Structure 1
């Protein structure tokens, strides 16, 4: 299998997982990577989130933050405030680019989904 095909399949798996995150909840790049059986691939999950803006289906990339609840992906949205605004429209409070009550709102795909 070519590297392009492997990355494409991985991105698709990431996008399918992200589409399961409920409104008003967030998860981390690492949690998705771990769920997909690739715990050292947090960065690849980030690449998939960046590429999701051109996906054929809607991917709520704004619900994926870093392991501390920081909106590190905000620079990959058309507007710097878009990620925060989308989260706030779903009831997620953000202060200083960080999700307030991150632990309470954290959605763990390992606990919520079965492979």
Structure 2
């Protein structure tokens, strides 16, 4: 089943935003939705990531160039999408140096105070704003 044009536009915006999350950092579905100007749509962010094409698909955005594993739920927990999916996501985060802990119920968590990424705007939008104002954007400023 193919997506509507609106759904495809939304998914591509999600994928582009997720590409801006730095290596070794995580953010939430809700924060991506907020950055895209649709704070009421965190579930749609999740759906977009769940349906991210695989790397062999030939799609512009795919699991090989969109760091889907850097998006977790608002509690700092890695959401389950299917058998073994939370563990795969945890392993991908660990490979980036993110510490993932397991609680007494077996749920996997990331500490936002250490690894959270919550900018007010996407870095690409800051750069565009600076260019429009005739100012140079310096990352980290």
1:70 is aligned to 77
Unaligned runs of 5+ in 1: none
Q: What's the TM-score, normalizing by structure 2? A: 0.70
2:113 is aligned to 103
Secondary structure of 1:24 counterpart: coil
* Alpha-carbon offset, residue 65 of structure 1: 0.2
Displacement over 4 Å in runs of 4+: 76-80
Unaligned runs of 5+ in 2: 103-107, 127-141
* Alpha-carbon separation, structure 1, partners of 2:23 and 2:83: 18
Count of residues in Structure 1 that have an aligned counterpart in Structure 2? 111
Q: What's the TM-score, normalizing by structure 1? A: 0.85
Greater RCO (Cα-Cα under 8 Å, separation 6 or more): 1
* Alpha-carbon offset, residue 82 of structure 1: 1.0
Q: Quickly say closer, same or farther: Cα 1:92–1:70, change in 2 above 3 A.
A: same
Indicate which of 89, 94, 98 corresponds to 2:100.
94
RMSD: 2.1
Contact 2:26 2:72 in 1 (8 A): yes
Contact 2:20 2:122 in 1 (8 A): no
